[in-house]
Amino acid sequence: MKRVSPESESEPESESGRSPLLPGAIPDSDSGAARLDSDSGSFAQLLLQHYDAHRRDLPWRQDADPYRVWISEVMLQQTRVETVVPYYRRWLERFPDVGRLADAPADDVLKQWEGLGYYGRARNLHQAAGLVRDRHAGALPSDPALLRALPGFGEYTVGAVASIAFGRRLPAVDGNVRRVLSRIHDRATPTPAWLRATAAALVPADRPGDFNQALMELGATICTPRSPRCPDCPLRGLCLARARGTVDDVPARRRRAAVPTVELATAVVRDAAGRLLLVRNPDAGLLGGLWGFPVAEPAPGEPPLRAAAGAAVRAGATVHDAEGAELPPVRHQFSHLTATYRPFLFEGAPALPPPETAASARWLTPDEIRAHALPVAQRRILAHARA
């Protein structure tokens, strides 16, 4: 299951003859004829009954502790459930409460997050934990307005945490909810504002957190993007897209912009003691706070080998042999670009005196590197270098 953060705010669009807001045209399952029903109770009742009978046994559903709900919801954004489960368990062993998370060094937090991607989530968790410790006596606030003031708390996260942990009647619209509501109303291009308004009107006063989880789970397990299991859906009698035969076309697929590509020359510098040179990325920006080998984007016409050697020197190394051995390239897909790393292995040593840019550099043995958070691509480069 991937949870996709809501899009930016926009004005609600007119209904233009589409189904009414609650809960829409309700086709009879046998005849396909439609009747109108303005009562959302049947929607919530059917959904919660199905959820109670079929919900997955996930570790974050064992209790509604606000801290645990928060951690799970952030981890689940853009990440599949099966990937999150082991990370979630390890995270709670290391940071069992807000205080432990707030007091931990940033490097430790990023190391626990290593491999989950979208590292800004981990940095926001750490910063928000410090604010909760200092401003709210270590307890996550139940007031949605106070939650919104914390780093990383957008509309989705506020709705999910407030409803699941505190019983607040708020919607939580992720990519799964978008798909379910679009099909229920046969709406090909729902706006974010329409989705929030529609979801908010459906959330019941009783069990709002379970309702939101049930709606997300329905999209993750039954109302899937491809080959949805319509006969198993508890809302099949309410679904306009099913009645009209448009399920496979709703919601309309978004046109994605072309993803740019970039080549990054990478310097793997090894000294006489077998230590490798690593640099820490600035906190702001892509892969902020993580460690990796020095990289540089070659200038037009510049050989990657020369660009890599220059990156090594700027990071604080003296390169003994500018003709470094080329290692296998590593390709990595980020959300907004495709990067191909061109690594070169150099023999070198720390520069004396080191340049100012070397302040965030360290010479580390392979065993010492294990304690530092490295992105996936950098770990693959390390494996090639050790091989």
Note whether 243 and 325 are same-domain residues: no
> Are 217 and 282 members of one domain?
no
Same domain, 63 and 34: yes
Look at residues 206, 221, 249 and tell me which one is the last residue of a structural domain.
249
Judge if the upstream peptide bond of residue 171 is cis by omega within 30 degrees of 0: no
Using alpha carbons, select from 47, 32, 23 the residue that is nearest to residue 245.
Answer: 32
Q: What is the pLDDT of residues 55-112, one digit of tens each?
A: 999 999 998 999 999 999 999 998 999 999 999 999 999 999 999 999 999 999 999 9
**Per-residue tokens: 370:** 């294990």
- CA dist 184 and 24 (Å) reads 7
Verify that 204 and 299 share a domain, yes or no: no
Whether 188 and 266 map to the same domain: the answer is no
Structure tokens at 42: 């049947």
Does residue 73 carry a catalytic annotation? yes
CATH of the domain at 350: 3.90.79.10
pTM given for the model:
0.84
Residue 2: the pLDDT is: 47
Q: Which of 249, 269, 285 is the last residue in one of the domains?
A: 249
Rg of the chain's alpha carbons, rounded to an integer? 25
Instruction: Work out the burial of residue 248: count CB atoms within 10 Å of its CB; fewer than 13 is exposed, 13-18 middle, 19 or more buried.
Output: exposed
Q: Specify if 255 maps to a domain.
A: no
Any idea what the CATH number is for the domain that residue 187 is in? 1.10.340.30
Q: Which residues of the chain have pLDDT under 50?
A: 1-2, 4-39
Same domain, 42 and 168: yes
Q: Write 363-370 long-range contacts (CB < 8 A, 24+).
A: 363/271, 363/275, 363/276, 363/277, 363/278, 364/275, 364/276, 364/278, 365/273, 365/274, 365/275, 365/276, 366/274, 366/276, 369/276, 369/278, 369/291
> Based on the domain organization, do 67 and 213 belong to the same domain?
yes
> What's the confidence (pLDDT) of residue 255?
81
5: in domain? no
Same domain, 185 and 270: no
Q: Is residue 361 in a domain?
A: yes
* Domain that residue 345 falls in: 261-386
Residue type, 124: N
Q: Are residues 181 and 293 in the same domain?
A: no
**Residue 137 and residue 99 in contact, taking contact as beta carbons nearer than 8 Å:** no
Consecutive H or E run containing 85? helix 81-94
Contact residues for 135 (Cβ-Cβ < 8 A; gap 6+) = none
Q: How many domains does the chain have?
A: 2
Same domain, 224 and 134: yes
DSSP structural state of residue 3? B
The residue among 188, 219, 249 that closes a domain is 249
- Catalytic residue of the set 7, 9, 15, 73: 73
Q: How far apart are CA 33 and CA 38, in angstroms?
A: 17
231 and 152 belong to one structural domain: yes
**Strand 338-350 relative to strand 261-270: parallel, antiparallel, unpaired?**
parallel
